[in-house]
A = this chain, B = another copy of it.
Amino acid sequence: MKVALDAMGGDHAPKINIIGAIEALKNYPKLNHLYLVGDEAILRKEALEHGLNLNDPRVSIAHAADVIGMAEPGAKSVRRKRNSSICVAMDMVKDGTADAFVSAGNTGAAVAAATLKLRCLKGVDRAGIASPLPNEHGICNILDAGANPEAKPEHLVAYAIMGTAFARHVLGVKSPKVGLMSNGEEDEKGTTFTKETFKLLKATPGIDFVGNVEGHDLFETKLDIVLCDGFVGNIVLKSVEATAKAVSKWLKTEIKETPIRMAGALLAQGAFKALKAKSSYETYGGSPLLGVNGVVIIAHGSSTGLAVRNAIRVAVETVEHKINPRIEEAMATLPEPVTTAQ
């Protein structure tokens, strides 16, 4: 079990990746080797600073001279910067040196590199990112969270199948429930796109499609996968995150208004900490890019060390449960028109 970590990726790289690496090596015995991919001189210095032991036989640096910045255009940068940490790490997955790729770097570039270098699985036209949200009954994954902004209905059908395979084999959900994000729960709600998708999903074997879902279902309804195009998924995820952050920030401001409120908040701090642990993306860590021929885990751009550690955990679990052959099997059972329609 070997993981290639894009050590230069993320708003707070490389520090978070070094800390995440230390924690992952300590906590995941199934991780046989971790490659830190990035500028060797920088990484040696950071490893020394944060106490990562480079003499540990389970860790090594794979030099990559270049970095793709967080705001650079994804596909273009991948073609131009062949020696970037994202490209070098993805090449290691392609040639079998590593079993999985993990990055908190430029998502567009990671998706482009994965698609170009690893290619899609048999029967899959487009890869999709499954991003976890905390839900009262477990974890609800938004799929697609941004890999494919202008998806076609048949792409969402493939996402339903891939998401079901991921939830079943990696997350251990026996019968994963799949919803379609829409502007109302009634069957007839939606746009031309969602109505066509709804019809295809109803006819898709091997998935438990529960129909249209809305915002509150993300948190309150037993749901494992919520399907949408990457544009909507990206906006939903960012809006959810922004709302939680605003609520927390505004509550803090109100608490600071009086000493009594501050004393109260101190007494109740265990509740705030427990909520943060439950709801933070750091706990979930990584979003698999489903549909490519390899294991690719996308971590949040503003990842902390804890988030990187957990992204590595998701990578280890995803490799362990070998879902890609299962996705190909499931795609092969689909009736022709769904997989070949353009």
Interface residues of A (CB under 8 A from B): 71, 73, 146, 149-150, 181-184, 186, 188, 190-192, 194, 214-220, 230-232, 234-248, 250-251, 254-255, 257-258, 260-272, 274-275, 278-279
Contact = CB atoms under 8 A, between A and B. Distances in A.
A213 to B, nearest CB: 10
Contact of A266 (B194, B251, B264, B278): B264
Q: Report how many copies the assembly holds.
A: 2
A164 to B, nearest CB: 22
A246 B219 contact: yes
A266 B245 CA distance: 23
A244 B247 CA distance: 7
A297 to B, nearest CB: 20
B275 A251 contact: yes
Contacts of A149: 183, 190-191
A259 to B, nearest CB: 10
B216 A242 contact: yes
A264 B230 CA distance: 42
B242 A254 contact: no
Contact of A271 (B231, B239, B254, B270): B254
Which of A216, A255, A271 has its CB near the most chain B CB atoms (within 10 A)?
Answer: A271
A57 to B, nearest CB: 41
The 6 A-B residue pairs whose C-beta atoms are closest, nearest first, are A264-B267, A264-B268, A215-B238, A215-B242, A254-B271, A219-B246
